[in-house]
Amino acid sequence: MKKILILVVVALLSATGYGYYLFQKPSKDIATTKPYLSTIAPQLIAKFGSGQTSSSSELLSKVIQVSGKVTDIEKGKESIIIVLNEGIKCEIILDKNPPFVKGDYLTVKGIFSGFDDMFNEISLTKCYIVL
């Protein structure tokens, strides 16, 4: 009887512990996450750059790695957005000036957050520069 009680208490404690761990888990760390898809900018644009397709929901929230040419850089208050191949915008969190210029080739890793139909661009969030 005592054994069962101990077992129940241990089970309850570990369940609570796991729940607490899940609750406190910080957001995904992109730098250490293995990308779901590695590709080049023209390919990603050809596949997902035409708006809300059924295949684009497959990538939503997934970590994507993409290489391309920087065609635009926009500095905001909290972040910098770089545009790759005029069709993919990546939000990069940097506290200083970006170590790249228009025309550079970059590889970034970030979370696919959908298609912006105002600028007709694929959007990547929390990007991290790989190369």
Output 5 or 95, the one with its CB closest to other proteins.
95
CB of 9 to other proteins, least distance (A): 25
Rounding to the nearest 10 degrees, give the CA dihedral for residues 101, 107, 109, 111: 70
Output 28 or 102, the one with its CB closest to other proteins.
28
CB of 8 to other proteins, least distance (A): 25
Under a CB-based contact definition with an 8 Å cutoff, are residues 126 and 88 in contact? no
CB of 102 to other proteins, least distance (A): 15
List of residues contacting other proteins (CB under 8 A): 22-28, 52, 57, 60-61, 74-81, 83, 89, 91, 111-119, 121, 123, 125-126
Sign of the alpha-carbon dihedral angle for 90, 40, 99, 120: negative
Output 14 or 53, the one with its CB closest to other proteins.
53
Output 5 or 22, the one with its CB closest to other proteins.
22
CB of 74 to other proteins, least distance (A): 5
CA-wise closest residue to 81 among 122, 40, 37 = 122
Output 6 or 53, the one with its CB closest to other proteins.
53
Instruction: Calculate ∠ Cα 55-27-112, nearest 5°.
Output: 20
Report the C-alpha gap between 56 and 122 in whole angstroms: 10
Report the C-alpha gap between 90 and 109 in whole angstroms: 9
CB of 108 to other proteins, least distance (A): 14
